[in-house]
Amino acid sequence: TTSCLSSAAEDDISRHPCYSEEAHRFFARMHIPVAPACNIQCNYCNRKFDCVNESRPGVVSEVLTPEQAERKVKGVAAQLMQLSVVGIAGPGDPLANADKTFDTFERVKKHVPDVMTCLSTNGLTLYRHIDRITELGIGHVTITINAIDPDVGKEIYPWVFDEGVRYEGREAAALLISRQLQGVEELAKRGILVKVNSILIPGINDKHLVEVSKKVKELGATLHNVTPLIIAPGSQYEKDGRKAPRPKELNQLQEQLSEGGTKLMRHCRQCRADAVGLLGQDRNQDFQLETMEADP
Ligand code: CLF
Ligand code: SF4
């Protein structure tokens, strides 16, 4: 239940299309693709495409500058009455592009103060940005956590890059995991709603996600969203011949997790980094900068 949350947090959940299944019928989200770079490598990703942690692989979102993003958010907010949340989820990792990401959130806060803001990240550098996230009133943060055991993690992440150092193998996974868990805990302490995304990777973390779920719940995550692996063309997992899970495997795992008491998100549509509209709808094409600004 959400009974331990403040009423402001409850209100935020009831208007957020990802945090509330009910809300997703009525409220729209908008993603602004201002963050092209990434600081880790996932074996299911091909960097030519959007970040797979919250997206379908194989799609390419065109990157906007913070200034273009501001214009676009203003235009969409004026035309899309259902808009309740503006998120940054790629096309790389938003916090590997921290200047652009926070510049954009500042502009949104200033010019469209009545929308909620949302951030999705792999979590590597989260601990360095907790104050900024809090000050800017970013109320929702998603961290993609696929493992809490570095021996599982090393099969998912071949390397991570932090402060000029490249880490590989088990050491890379251990660093990433410790930062992710620290991020969940510190954000939750500040009253920020934390959602954890996990990608179900058969043969790698299918048995392990129960432990992940338990841990992140203990640390204060509000919601757990398990999505099926979809392998990006040209990714390491494609070369390895890995397969996506069958729908039945995902359903069984979700049942198991919810019996364990975790609050699950089951209506995720694996959005693009530039998606606009209700979940499952992508109206980005209706909101191109040139055409919106040409309108009187
Ligand atoms: Fe976007 Fe993600 Fe915020 Fe939602 S999406 S940054 S929490 S506003 Fe939602 Fe889309 Fe699934 Fe993400 S349906 S991919 S969970
Ligand atoms: Fe790709 Fe996202 Fe992983 Fe970075 S965090 S490697 S963009 S899937």
Mean pLDDT on 251-269? 91
What is the ipTM score, two decimals? 0.94
- The confidence score (pLDDT) of residue 230 equals 87
Query: CA of 202: how far to CAs of 46, 154, 249, in Å?
Result: 19, 15, 9
Under 8 Å CB-to-CB from 159, ≥6 apart: which residues?
Answer: 40, 41, 166, 167, 168, 172
Mean pLDDT on 247-253? 96
* Residue 224 Cβ < 6 Å to ligand 1: no
> Which atom of ligand 1 is nearest the CA belonging to 142?
7
159 has pLDDT over 70:
yes
Query: CA of 111: how far to CAs of 33, 102, 114, 192, in Å?
Result: 18, 14, 9, 22
293 has pLDDT over 80:
no
Residue 52 Cα to ligand 2 middle (Å): 6
- The confidence score (pLDDT) of residue 11 equals 75
- Helices then strands (H, E): number in the chain? 10, 11
Query: What would the pLDDT profile of 183-239 be if each residue is shown by its tens digit?
Result: 999 999 999 999 999 999 999 999 999 999 999 999 999 999 999 998 888 999 999
Q: How confident is the model at residue 166 (pLDDT cuts 50, 70, 90)?
A: very high
* Residue 42 Cβ < 6 Å to ligand 2: yes
Query: CA of 49: how far to CAs of 46, 59, 105, 257, in Å?
Result: 6, 5, 23, 31
> Which atom of ligand 1 is nearest the CA belonging to 89?
6
Helix (H) or strand (E) run with residue 198 in it? strand 193-200
> Which atom of ligand 2 is nearest the CA belonging to 92?
7
* Residue 273 Cβ < 6 Å to ligand 1: no
Mean pLDDT on 6-18? 81
- The confidence score (pLDDT) of residue 2 equals 44
156 has pLDDT over 90:
yes
**CB contact at 8 A, 101 and 34:** yes
Residue 148 Cα to ligand 1 middle (Å): 22
* Residue 89 Cβ < 6 Å to ligand 1: yes
Residue 44 Cα to ligand 2 middle (Å): 8
pTM for the structure as a whole:
0.94
Give the residue from 18, 13, 102, 85 showing the smallest Cα distance to 271: 18
Give the residue from 115, 104, 139, 98 showing the smallest Cα distance to 32: 104
* Residue 31 Cβ < 6 Å to ligand 1: yes
Q: Which of 24-28, 56-60, 87-91, 152-156 has the lowest mean pLDDT?
A: 56-60
Residue 119 Cα to ligand 2 middle (Å): 15
State the average pLDDT for the chain: 91
Helix boundaries (H) for 49-117: 66-79, 98-111
Whole-angstrom distance, CA of residue 176 vs CA of residue 124: 5
- The confidence score (pLDDT) of residue 191 equals 94
> Which atom of ligand 2 is nearest the CA belonging to 144?
5
Mean pLDDT on 66-77? 96
Nearest 5°: the CA angle 182, 188, 190 is 105
Other beta carbons within 10 angstroms of residue 278's beta carbon come to 18
10 has pLDDT over 80:
no
**CB contact at 8 A, 108 and 73:** yes
Q: How confident is the model at residue 109 (pLDDT cuts 50, 70, 90)?
A: very high
> Which atom of ligand 1 is nearest the CA belonging to 19?
7
* Residue 95 Cβ < 6 Å to ligand 2: no
